[in-house]
């Protein structure tokens, strides 16, 4: 019996209840000696398919992509997010990752640009590794609007059938990729930190932290296409662009209805809080002891031409905005120099500084884990070291760094 993503053949079912025990959502129950589906509970995870020893549980034909259709999907796509005439850096990082995936799958890599008057974006995307650039140029796409973007990308998916679709885990990528996945009736893994191809099954391994960052989970989408993932900025390195690369540009005509909502005004956030792209990050942790001492970090950052970042402890204490948090649930930074004052080096924090070229740590505890990743470690009291540094740089007496 069906009505949902799976079908249970009552004439075959022997009542072994294995599918009942397997379903994580309690969507299969026994009706006499036969298992039956509760369609309203079924989430289409397909776990039950493997559990039935006699093949009585199958994917509903009208609902799941059959193998023939799976095979029709080909190519790796990167959603090339642009904002106010500039391409997001994460796009180039994804093109580098996408190139490796496309090579393994022996297929093309495409970049998809949505917007209006966007032709100038194509050459740099090709130079960065795209074989094809799909340009969906439409006045309705001039400004990001989730409903219209979803509609546009979904139309392109239906038209071209990509196998893999990647986007940056930016505010825009996070907001509308989920909607696209729902529309395309496929899976989406958000915030991936690693991607690879399982060549035996031709599947995308989508790896991301799970269970509070304590384990890395690798997620696959075996029954649906495209396989969709968002990836956090700064996880992958971008390739050196090759302006001599040749690629094709496809102009995609789309039928788009006017969006039901309109952006009346947008207010830019403070650009000084963009810690992700700074070459120098002066970061502080709970060892600063009180919010007022962040002023010392700001002064040092000013001297060095950098920005202030913090550990989550500082954000949790209410000392500073979460926009400056570095780490797994904050920003991933990739500065030339990362200075860590009074930061212990918890795994979730280190997750955010893996790409830092040089880490300099000041901590009073010689066994603090931050020293395991530091290129230069200073065991000492930041309340002595930080004011002394400022005095040397600024030539004036530093403020008092007292106790909380």
Ligand X SMILES: Cc1cc2nc3c(=O)[nH]c(=O)nc-3n(C[C@H](O)[C@H](O)[C@H](O)COP(=O)(O)OP(=O)(O)OC[C@H]3O[C@@H](n4cnc5c(N)ncnc54)[C@H](O)[C@@H]3O)c2cc1C
Separation CA 253–CA 311 (nearest Å): 47
Which is nearer to ligand X, 17 or 286 (by Cβ)? 286
To ligand X, the closest distance from the beta carbon of 348 in angstroms equals 3
Enumerate the H helices of 73-121 as residue ranges: 89-105
Which is nearer to ligand X, 196 or 348 (by Cβ)? 348
CA angle 308, 312, 313 (to 5 degrees): 105
Q: Confirm if 28 and 37 have CB atoms less than 8 A apart.
A: yes
Phi, psi of 342 (to 5 degrees): 65, 35
Question: How many DSSP H helices and E strands does the chain contain?
Answer: 12, 21
DSSP bridge partners of 379? 363
Half-sphere exposure of 7 (CA within 13 A, CB side): 11
To ligand X, the closest distance from the beta carbon of 217 in angstroms equals 14
Separation CA 236–CA 90 (nearest Å): 8
Query: Could you say which DSSP state residue 88 is in?
Result: -
Which is nearer to ligand X, 127 or 383 (by Cβ)? 383
To ligand X, the closest distance from the beta carbon of 169 in angstroms equals 14
Q: Confirm if 72 and 160 have CB atoms less than 8 A apart.
A: no
Report the chain's C-alpha Rg in angstroms.
25
To ligand X, the closest distance from the beta carbon of 377 in angstroms equals 11
Which is nearer to ligand X, 117 or 321 (by Cβ)? 321
Which is nearer to ligand X, 105 or 312 (by Cβ)? 312
Half-sphere exposure of 278 (CA within 13 A, CB side): 24
- In the complex, which residues of this chain contact ligand X (CB under 6 A)? 212-213, 285-287, 311-313, 325-330, 342-344, 346, 348-349, 352, 362-365, 368, 381-383
H or E element that contains 159 = helix 146-160
To ligand X, the closest distance from the beta carbon of 314 in angstroms equals 6
Which is nearer to ligand X, 228 or 326 (by Cβ)? 326
* Burial grade of 110 (CB within 10 A; 0-12, 13-18, 19 or more): buried
Which is nearer to ligand X, 196 or 329 (by Cβ)? 329
To ligand X, the closest distance from the beta carbon of 220 in angstroms equals 23
Structure tokens at 399: 């403020």
Which is nearer to ligand X, 207 or 329 (by Cβ)? 329
To ligand X, the closest distance from the beta carbon of 39 in angstroms equals 35
Query: Could you say which DSSP state residue 82 is in?
Result: E
CA angle 168, 171, 176 (to 5 degrees): 80
Which is nearer to ligand X, 99 or 234 (by Cβ)? 234
Cα 337 to Cα 64, 89, 192, 304: the distances in Å are: 50, 20, 25, 10
To ligand X, the closest distance from the beta carbon of 26 in angstroms equals 28
To ligand X, the closest distance from the beta carbon of 378 in angstroms equals 9
């Amino acid at each position: 019996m069906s009505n949902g993503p799976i079908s249970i053949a009552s004439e075959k079912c022997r009542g072994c209840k294995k599918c009942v025990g397997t379903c994580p959502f309690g969507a299969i129950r026994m009706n006499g000696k036969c298992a039956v589906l509760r369609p309203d509970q079924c989430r289409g995870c397909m776990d039950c398919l493997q559990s039935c020893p006699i093949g009585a549980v199958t994917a509903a034909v009208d609902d799941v992509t059959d193998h023939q259709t799976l095979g029709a999907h080909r190519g790796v796509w990167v959603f090339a997010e642009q904002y106010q005439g500039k391409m997001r850096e994460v796009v180039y990082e994804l093109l580098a990752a996408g190139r490796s995936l496309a090579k393994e799958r022996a297929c093309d890599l495409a970049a998809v640009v949505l917007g209006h008057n966007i032709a100038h974006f194509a050459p740099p995307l090709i130079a960065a590794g795209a074989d094809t650039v799909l340009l969906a140029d439409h006045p309705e796409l001039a400004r990001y609007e989730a409903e219209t973007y979803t509609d546009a990308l979904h139309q392109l998916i239906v038209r071209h059938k990509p196998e893999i679709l990647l986007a940056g885990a930016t505010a825009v990528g996070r907001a509308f990729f989920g909607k696209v996945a729902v529309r395309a009736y496929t899976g989406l893994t958000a915030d991936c930190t690693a991607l690879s191809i399982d060549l035996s099954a031709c599947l995308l391994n989508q790896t991301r932290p799970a269970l509070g960052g304590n384990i890395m989970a690798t997620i696959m989408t075996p029954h649906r296409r495209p396989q969709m993932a968002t990836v956090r900025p700064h996880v992958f390195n971008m390739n050196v662009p090759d302006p001599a690369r040749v690629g094709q540009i496809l102009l995609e005509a789309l039928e788009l209805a006017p969006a039901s909502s309109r952006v009346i005004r947008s207010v830019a956030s403070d650009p000084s809080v963009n810690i992700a792209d700074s070459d120098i990050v002066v970061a502080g942790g709970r060892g600063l002891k009180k919010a007022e001492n962040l002023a010392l970090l700001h002064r040092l950052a000013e001297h060095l031409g950098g920005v202030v970042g913090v550990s989550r402890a500082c954000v949790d204490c209410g000392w500073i905005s979460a926009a400056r948090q570095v780490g797994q649930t904050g920003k991933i930074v990739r500065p030339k120099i990362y200075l860590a004052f009074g930061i212990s080096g918890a795994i979730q924090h280190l997750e955010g500084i893996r790409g830092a070229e040089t880490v300099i740590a000041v901590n009073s505890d010689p066994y603090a884990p931050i020293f395991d990743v530091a290129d230069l470690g200073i065991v000492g009291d930041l309340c002595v070291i930080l004011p002394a540094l400022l005095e040397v740089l600024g030539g004036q007496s530093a403020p008092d760094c007292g106790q909380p």
